[in-house]
């Protein structure tokens, strides 16, 4: 979350990164030392995926991601982990995320006469989705 904020990435990018990380961890064992490497690699993958044609999140260079980890990992290590993640996921990145669902669900509840309640509904829905990123127990909602 902090890396996504530091790079001003879109919410879609963060949700895709978490999705990739979860799917990779569901079938692979990784040491605690390499968990940050995996997280940054997933963010790099999703930034590249959503960065194309977007003003908010242009594709980042690998060095930027090395910098954000205080150069704990080299660019070769990041690229190697990126390759491992993409190969494990079989390059299937286009999966629905909570944010994807939210972007389609929230507008359906909109009524012109209730702008304030709609904004409250949208904020609450976004808040609950963001909680699901940080708290495993929230995934069922």
Whole-number Å distance between alpha carbons of 113 and 5: 34
- pLDDT computed for residue 57 by the predictor: 40
- Class of the domain covering 2-88: mainly alpha
- pLDDT computed for residue 83 by the predictor: 95
DSSP string, 4-28: HHHTT--HHHHHHHHHHHHHHHTT-
Listed by start position, the domains of the chain span 2-88, 98-140
Q: What is the pLDDT of residues 34-52, one digit of tens each?
A: 999 999 999 999 988 887 5
pTM (2 decimals)? 0.77
According to DSSP, residue 37 is labeled H
Kindly give the parts of the chain with pLDDT less than 70. Answer: 52-60, 109-116, 138-141
Q: Which long-range contacts (CB under 8 A, 24 or more apart) does 102-110 make?
A: 102/126, 102/129
- pLDDT computed for residue 55 by the predictor: 42
């Amino acid at each position: 979350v902090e890396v996504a904020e530091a790079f001003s990435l879109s919410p879609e990018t963060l949700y895709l990164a978490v999705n990739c990380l979860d799917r990779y961890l569901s079938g692979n064992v990784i040491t605690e030392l390499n968990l940050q490497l995996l997280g940054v690699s997933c963010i790099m993958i999703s930034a590249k995926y959503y960065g194309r044609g977007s003003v908010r999140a242009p594709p980042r260079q690998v060095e930027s991601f090395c910098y954000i980890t205080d150069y704990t990992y080299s660019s070769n290590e990041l690229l190697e982990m990126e390759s491992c993640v993409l190969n494990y996921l079989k390059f299937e990145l286009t999966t629905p995320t909570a944010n994807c669902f939210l972007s389609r669900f929230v507008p359906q509840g909109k009524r012109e006469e209730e702008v304030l309640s709609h904004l409250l509904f949208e904020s609450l829905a976004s808040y609950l989705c963001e909680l699901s990123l940080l708290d495993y127990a929230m995934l069922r909602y």
